[in-house]
Amino acid sequence: MLLDPSRPEVSYLLGLLHTDGWHSGCVDHKGKVGIELHERDVDVLHEIRRVIPCYSALKRRRRRTNFADDYVSYQLLFSDQAVRIELARLGMRPGPKSLDVAPPKECGLVSRAYLRGVLDGDGSVGFTRTGAPFVSLVTASEPMARFFEDQVWQVCRVRRSTQRNTRDGVFNVMVTNVSATLMAGHCWQAGDWPVMARKASAAAEVAAWKPPPEKAGRYGVKREKWTAAQDELLFSHPLAEAAEILGRTMKSVSVRRWRLRHGITNGHQSPDHP
Identify the pLDDT of residue 221: 55
Rounded to the nearest 10 degrees, what angle do helices 142-156 and 177-187 cross at? 100
Domain range list for the chain: 8-98, 115-207, 215-268
Say how many residues make up the chain.
Answer: 274
Whether cis (ω within 30° of 0) applies to the bond prior to 143 is no
Supply φ then ψ for residue 204, to 5 degrees.
-65, -40
Identify the pLDDT of residue 20: 94
Q: What's the whole-model pTM score?
A: 0.79
* Homologous superfamily of the 115-207 domain (CATH): Homing endonucleases (3.10.28.10)
Identify the pLDDT of residue 217: 62
Q: How many CB atoms lie within 10 A of CB 217?
A: 16
Terminal Cα distance for the chain, rounded: 52
How far apart CA 135 and CA 124 sit, in angstroms, is 6
Identify the pLDDT of residue 220: 59
Q: Do domains 8-98 and 115-207 have the same CATH topology?
A: yes
- DSSP codes, 34-101: EEEEEGGGHHHHHHHHTTSSS--EEEEEEE--SS-SSEEEEEEEE--HHHHHHHHHTT--SBSPPTT-
Residues of the chain with pLDDT under 70: 214-223, 265-274
CA 196 to chain CA mean position, Å: 11
8-98 belongs to which CATH class? Answer: alpha beta
